[in-house]
Amino acid sequence: MAAVETKTERGPRNGVDTPKLFATINIVKSQPELARFQFRATNRWIKGANSRSRLEKFKGAGGEHAHQGECVYDADHPAVLVGDDTAPTPVEFLLHALASCLTAGIASVAAARGVTLTEVRSTIEGDINLLGVLGLSDTVRNGYERIRVSFDVKGDAPAEKLKQIVEQSKARSAVYDVLTHGVPVEVAVNAG
């Protein structure tokens, strides 16, 4: 009976192929070099604040991988910020990245812990004072001053367990890590 329960808990859940997840973790444990990934994008300026990125093949698990479909995304500035509003602003994509990373983690952690989720929704807000970007202040930073995420999570577990799942997702989120701790960025220029 206990064995059956364990098997049930480790079966696919929340759309997460939990057996494959555990198998992947075991393979990487014995071959840690498979964990080295590189994601890539190319970007082309169009006009004004509008540019277009293409998410390219990525490297990892010992090979090169292409996404199934075309992954092309524009960004722009809104009219109130002297853009053409053909697409969202770059900073809004940070909000999408953060919400989607934490949410993917919640689904995976819940599956690994045998919890079936019925709903994960979030709202996310980023406060930014444009005195920095506009060059009108040397004390106001250019980027967001703070970001707030609020999750509504429903599933077949007590509230406390659901909250622990969100905590664990936060503790292992790549985007949360980058946004809260920063990352070294090198910028090279070929001009002429």
Return the DSSP state at 138: S
Within residues 25-84, the interface with a second copy by CB under 8 A covers 25, 28-29, 32, 35-51, 53, 55, 58, 60-61, 65, 67-68, 71, 73-78, 80-84
Which of 2, 3, 4, 187 binds a second copy (CB under 8 A)? It is 187
Within residues 100-129, the interface with a second copy by CB under 8 A covers 100-104, 106-108, 117, 119-129
Nearer to a second copy, 7 or 65 (CB): 65
Q: What angle do CA 166, 168, 173 make, to 5 degrees?
A: 90
CB of 6 to a second copy, least distance (A): 19
Residue type for position 174 = A
Phi, psi for residue 96 in degrees, rounded to 5: -60, -45
Please answer whether residues 189 and 115 qualify as being in contact, where contact means their C-beta atoms are separated by less than 8 angstroms.
Answer: no
Phi, psi for residue 145 in degrees, rounded to 5: -85, -35
Establish if 2 lies at the interface with a second copy (CB under 8 A).
no
Nearer to a second copy, 10 or 46 (CB): 46
CB of 98 to a second copy, least distance (A): 7
Please answer whether residues 162 and 185 qualify as being in contact, where contact means their C-beta atoms are separated by less than 8 angstroms.
Answer: no
